[in-house]
Structure 1
Amino acid sequence: MLPDTLIDNRYKIIKSLGGGGMANVYLAFDQFLKRQVTFKMMRLDMKDDADVVKRFHHEAVAATELVHDNIVQIYDTGEYEGSQYLVMEYVEGTDLKSFIADHFPIPYQQVVDIMLQILSAVQAAHNANIIHRDLKPQNILINDQTQVKITDFGIAVAKDSKNITQTHTVIGSVHYLSPEQTRGGVASPKSDIYALGVMLYEMLTKQVPFEGDTAVAVALKHATAEMPSARDFDPRIPQALENVILKATSKRPQDRYISATSMSDDLKTALSPRRSNEERFTPMSETNDDTRIIPMAQIQDQLKTGVSSDKNLPDETSSEPSVQDIIVEYGKKDYAIKDIANMVDRTPNYVRHVLRDNGIKFRDRSKWRWVLLFLLIIGAAVMIFLNYQSSRVSVPDVRNLTQNNAENRIKKVGLTVGSVSSTTSKTIAKGNVVRSTPKNGLEAKKGDAVNLIVSSGHAKVRFGDYVGSDYAVIAAQLRAQGYSITKQESASDSIAEGKIIEQSIDANDKVDPTSTNVSFTVSTGAVKIVVPDFTDKSTQEQVQNWANRYDIVVNFNTQYDSKTKKGRVISQSIRGGSSITKDIVLLITISQGPQESSKSSDSGDSDSSSESSSSSSKSSNDSSSDSNSSSNNDSSDEDSDSGS
């Protein structure tokens, strides 16, 4: 779309921000709420693709259900000229991919701060049963205050849904794709966690862990190759921080963090001095130790905390007491579980396991308090839910209804009518409702306002100036737009044949193409004049009179001719009966009669004089006779020319 395009009399396009596989993205200005927004519109060549339309709609639904400080908010949805669009929060800044390129190396604490924001947003999505499935730096926006916003839920899916992607169908960016997805497995929250581990690796090294000549080669490495060490790239990276990457990107989902919150909890202490001597993380499925029987409680603990409580492992701290010894000592002194966990930098669950395994009795003083709090929360949630359900109604479908009927239907279900705006429509009659916001089918609270967008009929456009243009081309173009075209023909000395001389509608008039008839006057070329046959019968004067009448330029010359009467046309440069235009010059040759010859005589003067007198007399008589004859013939020719 071009800048200054106005969508639904509300969103004015400012500039293009880029595009993707199924949509183009623009910066726009919301004239109603006076703010800049991101306007995402489905590509015109995709609007008839049912699968793309479904994914585009799914993005709107998925993102609308999420309200979080680190997730781009969806403001509005709609349709323009047959294409779906989304109106979203505009984030002024850059994406994480560009941020890494521009700011590398990034301080470790800033890396942790950015990742904690991302994890918080991902956990919110998972809590809403939504798996993003395409987490990558390009979908993470960062503003000037380093606040993170996750966007592009176009291929997100509910945890229990298979509507978008079936088994053996891979969707997502291959450099961040989990091993189970590369094998065609169904995506899960653990798949998002794998992508987050890859992103953390990229933030610390400025490169993705696996590269290849083809997407298949990269996917195969995700499925089979060992995760490269970030510390091999930069030995200064704390082992505890690299361990977060290794655990998040374990090949088997069960070896990864159980949730984004669990990963966040581990990341918060990754830079703690107390974890400076931490060993490199090794997934349980990848250890090469001899087979040992491990208690189920210990396995569960390791899956949750990433720390083994196996007392049979060698103690590498010979002079310093182990973490377990410290926990036992504090347990004997009846310290609270939460206090011990904070002092040894472990989870409360881990502390409980250590105390149980060592036979230390402890009182979980907060147990009943938390149970009571839980019951209170459940009771309050039930009451809130029931109250919420009783106050919610579904927005009715008012499309194609008259404005009055639409307002009555909205009020009937307990909603109110908000603003009423207009927009052009090719399919909805003038005065009928094009759509509502919120749109039909969505839930709203009783008393909420529903805004109506009413059709103002077909859009009117400036007609344009087509004088001097080729009629055949212009007529075809305008008929394709819905115009009705009629043609009149007229000769023109100044406009070429087939070009438009005049149009019945002013160029600046605003018209509806589908109900407009326009008449064009089209040039048939210059005026054609038929040249008479002047030879043997017309005089110079008669020819000149004809030329003056038709504004023709004639050049005359003379010559002696014994066959053509003096003063009559001997020949003409253009044959009689031919058609000419005014820019052609006609050449006419006029007879001077026969040429008289001089006679030499040896006779006497008297004889000569007598003969001369006789000749002169004859000539005079002949001249008189010729004059009369010429006069009669000229008169006859003029009458003949006038008659013709």
Structure 2
Amino acid sequence: MVGRVLGGRYALGERLGGGGTAFVYKGRDSLLNRTVAVKVLNTQLTSDEDFVAKFRREAQAAASLSNPHIVGIYDVGQDGDIYYIVMEYVEGKTLKHHIMDKGPLDTSQALDVAMQIAEGLRHAHRHGVIHRDIKPHNILLTRDGQAKVADFGIARATTSSTLTQSGSLMGSVHYLSPEQARGGFTNERSDIYSLGVVLYEMITGQVPFTGDNVFSIGLKHLQESPRPPRELNKDIDPRLEEIVLKAMSKEQGARFSSADGMLNALADIAGSMENQTERKMSKRRTKEQAESLPELDNTYVPGMNAASTTRRNDMATKSKKKTPWLTIVSAAMLMVMLTTVMVLLYVFWPRPEVEVPNVVGHSLQGAEVLLRAANLSYTIMDGEWNSAVPANEVIRQQPEGGRVVRSGRVIQIVPSRGPELLEVPDIVGMTLLQAQITLLEAGFVLGQQSTRSSETVPVEQIIEQNPRVGFRAERDQQIDVVVSTGPVIVELSSPPLVGLSEIEVVETLNALGLTVGAISRDYNPAPYGTIIGQSPQAGERLRPGEAIAIVISRGTLLPVTVHIPRSKLPANAHLEISVEDREGRRVVVNRVVAPGEEDVNEQVSGIEPYRLIVKIDGRVDRDETIGRGGN
């Protein structure tokens, strides 16, 4: 790919990087004479027409974004079967590389980068563009510290095509929002969650969730809370930790409502840090100024005692006016004391002691009879789901049976609500990963997995489930599934095509359920138009619908030297030599014979047999057939 020119304009230079989705090259725009970055999509993705259409829409929408914190998109194009995006070339490195090289960022640096990312997201969200793949790998840092968000316009297009591939998902799963992990609806708050994860990594040096595979990490995004950043780095500002954890809330509604809100929260911390720095500097200046002032003398000031005496006399006068209130306060205090005495008498007054009966395993009605017979009261607490104990049967009591308590004591009893019945969700049409996540969220587990061919359900998607959707089953029950292996495939043997005509090849392959693939032509002694090569070769195994590439003979290319003596050529004669064969008529020599030029000898060729026509100053000098049947 290096050295290739796309769209007649973008020359590809060194490869800068790439992954499962695309490869990035440093390029040169010959029209505008500027350095660009060219992202070439993986050809495995471009075979999907729906993907290509979605990619074009998303990339064109992203191209409308113009913000200093977003990598600009200049052009979106196609060159043959190659789809590419031309972007602003940013000198620097990714935020991921920076963290790997330098470790965690300090608070001020992390705030600066996070605010720039949030600013870019705010601009994109206001224009209706959601990134869906915010991660440090997609954040570029320039040499002067500017942060730019890359890959707008490709993330959404590649979601359905690449996120099911564990190889390409592994790099993104650490930053996926819970709704993306379960395959649900995404919006601006999905980007905010991912930014929260990026900020977590910036200040701690590590991602919040790790695991052995994509599935285990995705489940942690859905079920586990991240370890608080300050447990990993005690120097982190508590307010910054609060922002990170809010952005990473499992529920979308608990996150910041917009990138603008998160940006404002970050800006508040940044502003207070600047104010703290200014206050420290101000205190230092004040202290220095105070140390330079003369020391004050603690001397007696005449009249000070007289003023104090006057204030005391005034206070005595006011206290006399408040005397009626003392009576009211005293009465209130007396009432409180009497109430306290009555409560103490009730609590400590001697009452007979009784043994608490064991009511666990009894029905609520039976427990009531036993407790009343023991002169005890009871209260029924909220029931608990329990698949082993029937509904309305006591599963726990407090105090426990056998304890000795005073009569009248209130006994707390907890009844069973029986097995918890949950509604089985619809997982037909999902992949096993999506189904496992959906079932776990609904309170079930994935059970036995069998396979079956299907003409309508794509490979690796669920055809059938048991119990069926809507059925009410106990929590943690296994849901068995049948997974599609795709349509039934019958292998065919590649037929021998060499020697057939192109029409015969089409008829033969159509009859077998195969198609004609790439067609190339080459010179060969075999008759013109016959097949001289095929791939796969005859006898190789094929599936219905697969294509066979063929090579067609162009016939024998026969060269000949055309000799014209000088005596036939007037001064400045115009010489035209043309060839007419199976591929049409074409002029192969068209020139003026220079004065003083000797006899003319021109080498020409055509597909045998062919017609050779020589004209001198527009007059036919020779018209003959070359090859079989000719000279």
TM-score, length of structure 1 as denominator length: 0.41
Greater fraction strand: 2
Which of the pair has more CA radius of gyration? 1
TM-score, length of structure 2 as denominator length: 0.42
